[in-house]
Amino acid sequence: MLCSAHLNVPSFLFLQPLNTAKLRNPTFIPTLRKTSPTLTCGSQPQPKRKPTPRKRPPMDGQKPTSRNRRKSSYGTSRRSILKKTFSQEQVTFSTPVPDDPVVGIIGGGMAGLICALNLEKRGVRSTVFDTGVHGLGGRMGTRVIEPQPLIFDHAAQFFTVNDPRFAELVQGWSEGGLVRQWHGPVGELEAGGHFLPLSSSAPRYVAVNGMRLLADSILSQTQMVDVVRPCWISKLEPYNGMWYLSENGKPKGQFDAIVIAHNGKCANRLLATSGLPLIARQMKRLELSSIWALLAAFEDPLPVIMSDGFPFEGAFVRGVDSVSWMANNTKKLLGSSNNGPDCWTFLSTAAYGKWNKVPQENIPTATAEKVKAGMLKGIEVALGIAKGSLQRPFYTRLQLWGAALPNNTPGIPCIFDPHGRAGICGDWLLGSSLESAALSGMALANHIADYFQNSGPPDEFAVGLDTEFQPLEGHDIGQFPAMEESKEQMEEEINQVEEYQLTT
């Protein structure tokens, strides 16, 4: 990401270069602590612990059935989930890893896809499960509206390159015509319309037809990776040395190891009764903030002229509570010669996301209208134009990223529990960026492959199970003085613009 240290820029969206001193030749220190009861999962009976049917079906080598499945934890309270998370028994697999192991990867964003790609490079097959209806990619999401077409990157806006391993990947994309540098003016926009271009030398990269193209490209490089979507894995169950995955009671396959490549409340619920208390505990330590994304298309250009007479294409907004970033995706992706409508992506501050947090799967209409009105009002303030003078967009779409930005991080490439044969990868493990997501996926893939090929004690492969989290400062959207406002102050300001109606 570009200049986030002094800009307070969003880490997962603008993808800051990493401090690779921590990443090159990382040393994995065994940290597995056997602080939880152990449930041994193998093909032979375990004399040291008798099965307890009340908690878990016997390990009799049979495939799980609907009769012995426990009820899903979905819909339960957070306190109930925490109680289950920390009281569950630790799964310990005793059967040898087969010669041709298969890994189940839950999450098809950058980290999950890169993990699958690098497992294949090590000769390991995998299946990626993703909830995406329109495609893979997670926060590499791109929305195209026909027939104009209108095109929006509605999460990651651009990325930079620092680590040589990621540079090699980007070089391949560049040679294939998939990415190019974004030369358009990007800078800081102070409330009132005062724009200051950034003078960074770090090149900004974008995918030529939207970020989702990169996810498709990664998948096209594989032959040993299956993809199942849309699919919401709701349960993990260990049986006879394997992990059985299911979606609302429907079996989705069995795997020798699993990878959790997503986060948030759904990941926490999934892990709450999985038999992986050490993994679940680390995931629970992650603190996330929410961000609203407003996609809006305008017939005429917005008044975004700089002092030199040219319009800017992207800006980190400061001094506005409801908006922290704005970018002209039409100019960014299609070039300044395009004469069609301008498609803009506006991102809220973390504070605005916090005070308007609702279930992202079911956003109330009243909340959506209030948020849209508040963000459009914030755009007027940022641009320094009169109240009510912003032209009405002819197309809008609002999305809430409920688990958008990490507030803390363990600062390690990946987490792995060798006894439960389960790992975690994701951008948040290294601070959050597209580059860190890729490096995390690479690290976990190679670690799992090494584990499969090594016959040594499992404890040698424990990674990150006790690593403490550290707060992230100066990287998240909305870390401005407005973050200190009270909820009542912000709600009062939002209510003042509710009458501003939005044409959808």
Q: Are 417 and 278 in contact (CB under 8 A)?
A: yes
- pLDDT tens digit sequence for 236-254: 999 999 999 999 999 999 9
How much is the pLDDT for 403? Answer: 85
- How much is the CA Rg of the chain, to the nearest whole Å? 24
- pLDDT tens digit sequence for 11-27: 444 444 343 333 333 33
CA 447 to each of CA 26, 168, 423: distance values in angstroms, whole numbers, following the listed order: 11, 20, 9
**Alpha helices by DSSP H, 25-125:** 78-87, 110-121
How much is the pLDDT for 264? Answer: 85
**Angstrom distance (rounded) from CA 172 to CA 205:** 13
**Angstrom distance (rounded) from CA 227 to CA 473:** 36
Burial class (CB in 10 A: 0-12, 13-18, 19+), 232: middle
- Give bridge partners of residue 145 from the DSSP assignment: 150
**Angstrom distance (rounded) from CA 452 to CA 377:** 55
How much is the pLDDT for 34? Answer: 39
How much is the pLDDT for 41? Answer: 56
Q: Are 433 and 159 in contact (CB under 8 A)?
A: yes
**Angstrom distance (rounded) from CA 167 to CA 173:** 10
- Give bridge partners of residue 187 from the DSSP assignment: 197, 315
Give the chain's length: 504
| Reported pTM | 0.79
**Angstrom distance (rounded) from CA 389 to CA 372:** 16
- Buried b / exposed e along 91-129 (16+ C-beta atoms within 10 A): bbbeeebeeebbbbbbbbbbbbbbbbbbbbeeebbbbbb
- Kindly state the greatest CA–CA separation across the chain: 79
How much is the pLDDT for 38? Answer: 52
How much is the pLDDT for 338? Answer: 76
- Give bridge partners of residue 142 from the DSSP assignment: 153
Q: Is 75 left (phi over 0), alpha (psi -120 to 50) or beta?
A: left
Q: ∠ CA 443-133-230 to the nearest 5 degrees?
A: 65
SS3 of residue 37 by DSSP: coil
**Alpha helices by DSSP H, 133-177:** 164-175
Q: Are 159 and 205 in contact (CB under 8 A)?
A: yes
Q: Which residues contact 497 (CB under 8 A, 6 or more apart)?
A: 373, 374, 376, 377
- Give bridge partners of residue 128 from the DSSP assignment: 105, 227
How much is the pLDDT for 217? Answer: 94
Q: Which residues contact 425 (CB under 8 A, 6 or more apart)?
A: 111, 112, 115, 259, 260, 261, 413, 414, 415, 437, 440, 441, 443, 444
Neighbour count for residue 375 (Cβ, 10 Å)? 29
SS3 of residue 212 by DSSP: helix
Tokens of 12: 């997962």
**Spans of the chain, pLDDT less than 50:** 1-37, 43-84, 475-504
